[in-house]
Amino acid sequence: MEKSSKYSKLLPYHIIAAAASGDVEAINEVLKHYEGYIAALSTRMLYDECGNPHYCVDV
């Protein structure tokens, strides 16, 4: 039985554990892994004075 591709994108446990204990390199690796997800969650649709929609990153 093959592993699903869904599970091939998971971070290894040792990286998560190192990030949780404060290892800066591991924290950066976790942030890099999830940067697309973070960017998607921080994108908002705003409307200008004419009612036109614009996507903006909420910082």
Where do the DSSP E strands lie in the chain? 43-47, 53-57
Q: What is the rounded average pLDDT for all residues in the chain?
A: 89
1 in any annotated domain: no
Whether the pLDDT of residue 5 is over 90: the answer is: no
| Residues paired with 56 in a beta bridge | 44
Q: Give the range of the structural domain holding residue 26, as residue numbers without chain letter.
A: 11-57
Whether the pLDDT of residue 10 is over 60: the answer is: yes
Instruction: Tell me if the pTM is above 0.75.
Output: no
Q: Whole-angstrom Cα distance, residue 47 to residue 16?
A: 39
- Give residue 58's pLDDT: 79
3 in any annotated domain: no
52 in any annotated domain: yes
2 in any annotated domain: no
Number of domains into which the chain is organized: 1
Whether the pLDDT of residue 4 is over 60: the answer is: no
Q: Read off the pLDDT of residues 15-49 as tens digits, 9 standing for 90 and up.
A: 999 999 999 999 999 999 999 999 889 999 999 99
